[in-house]
Amino acid sequence: MRTQFIRRSAAVVAGIGLAAGGLGLAGALQADAATTHVTLASASVAAKSITIKSDKTAAKAWAKVSFTGRTSGIAKNTVVQVQRLENGKWVNFPATTKVTSRATYSVWVQSGRVGVNKFRVVAANTASAAASVTITR
């Protein structure tokens, strides 16, 4: 509704400007109306998010640890990549899955790295918070 008003107002002012010989003014008003329209359209884009939850906070080395979560604004069948924090950098872990039609995912990992392992998942350039799992011998 507001977009139509802005377009109509710009068209009326542009028409008056053309009739009065103000071609430069009309062009500026039309460009401003187009910018307003683009801004309003981009504001309606849904925010993307992804969560992570581990079924264990501690596990033996090489035991399966499952991660589940929900997504928002991420399309069905989008790849979900597990990452582990190694030396201060997030590195892809050899575990992936896909977003379901219910906007959820489920994946499991096995790690032999003893100590606190921090994992996260990434999908559609969106990362979850970290989930810590302590691996023991």
CA–CA dist 60, 54 (Å, integer)? 14
93 falls in which pLDDT band (50, 70, 90)? very high
Q: What is the pLDDT of residue 116?
A: 97
* pLDDT of 26 over the 70 cut: no
CA–CA dist 124, 75 (Å, integer)? 9
pTM score over 0.75: no
Q: CB within 8 A of 40, min separation 6: which ones?
A: 2, 3
pLDDT tens digits, residue range 31-48? 444 444 444 444 456 799
Out of 20-34, 69-83, 89-103, 106-120, which region has the weakest mean confidence (pLDDT)? 20-34
